[in-house]
Structures are given as structure tokens and as C-alpha cells.
Amino acid sequence: MKIHHVGYLVKKIDKAAEEFEKLGYIRRGDITVDTYRKVDILFLEKDGYVVELVSPNAPDSVVSGLIKTYKNAPYHICYESTAFREDLERLTQNGYVQIDQPAPAPAIGNREVVFLLNSRLGMIELLS
Ligand code: NI
């Protein structure tokens, strides 16, 4: 598995993007609306590192609860997998709890993603 991006929760995606740009990050594409998860998403890149800004766009967004706890903060690392089903099975057999079903991510070319929780390191995302 290779690191694909760091997911970063933000309350106001435009304002947050402007702050990242001041630090030298470059936008990768436009804001994508994920209607399934009810979030707005924008990727930015600096020095080869990719940050994904995630902001709820409805009260029942998948991150509405998280943003109350974390406010503006990183909250997951996404790992790209060349053996998605095998890696998912291995992780769930080794202390990771799958918290949703694999589903297409519109912001990443509709590639399948799934989220998992580990009691010792928090949330990760697996990308096919
Ligand atoms: Ni992500």
C-alpha cells in the first residue's frame, strides 16, 4: 500500500484552500461535490504531498460529527492498494474495523474507497 493523501477536515473549504495556497500548496482541479457522503472535496499538493480538504455540505454529512470534535484538522491517511480486496480483508483481520461499504469516490475518478478505524491510530482510507 502506498500513501495517496492526507484527509483534512475543514469547516470552510474556500477559506481553507486560500490558507493552504499561502503556504505554497497548488490546487489540483476544482472542488468536487460528493453527493453520497455529502462533502465537498478539494485536493492540493506541495512538495509531492497531497492534502485532501473535506468539508460537510449538509447537516447529515458523513463528517458532520467528526468536524464537531476535530474542527479544522487532519483526520485520515489514505492508502492506495493494488490488491484492494486482499488488503481490506487483511486489515479487518488485524485490528481494523470497516466503518462503511466500499463505494466510488467522485473526487478520485470514481475509484472505490472504504474507511476503517483502528483503536490505536484512528481512521484510514483504503483506495482501489
Ligand atoms: Ni481521503
Query: Which of 38, 59, 2, 47 is CA-nearest to residue 20?
Result: 47
- Round to whole Å and give the CA distance between 20 and 113: 25
SS3 of 109, please?
coil
Give residue 22 CA to ligand 1 midpoint distance, Å: 22
Output 62 or 126, whichever has higher pLDDT: 126
Q: How many CB atoms lie within 10 A of CB 34?
A: 19
Summarised one tens digit per residue, pLDDT across range 41-98 is 999 999 999 999 999 999 999 899 999 998 999 999 999 999 999 999 999 999 999 9
**CA-wise closest residue to 23 among 40, 52, 5, 47:** 47
Instruction: Retrieve residue 46's grid coordinates.
Output: 506541495
Question: 5 C-alpha vs ligand 1 centroid, how far in Å?
Answer: 6
Cα–ligand 1 centroid distance for 51 (angstroms): 9
One-letter amino acid identity for 101? Q
pTM (2 d.p.): 0.94
* Spacing, Cα 110 to ligand 1 middle (Å): 13
What is the DSSP secondary-structure string of 41-102? EEEEEETTEEEEEEEE-STT-TTHHHHHHHSSEEEEEEEE-SSHHHHHHHHHTTTEEE-S--
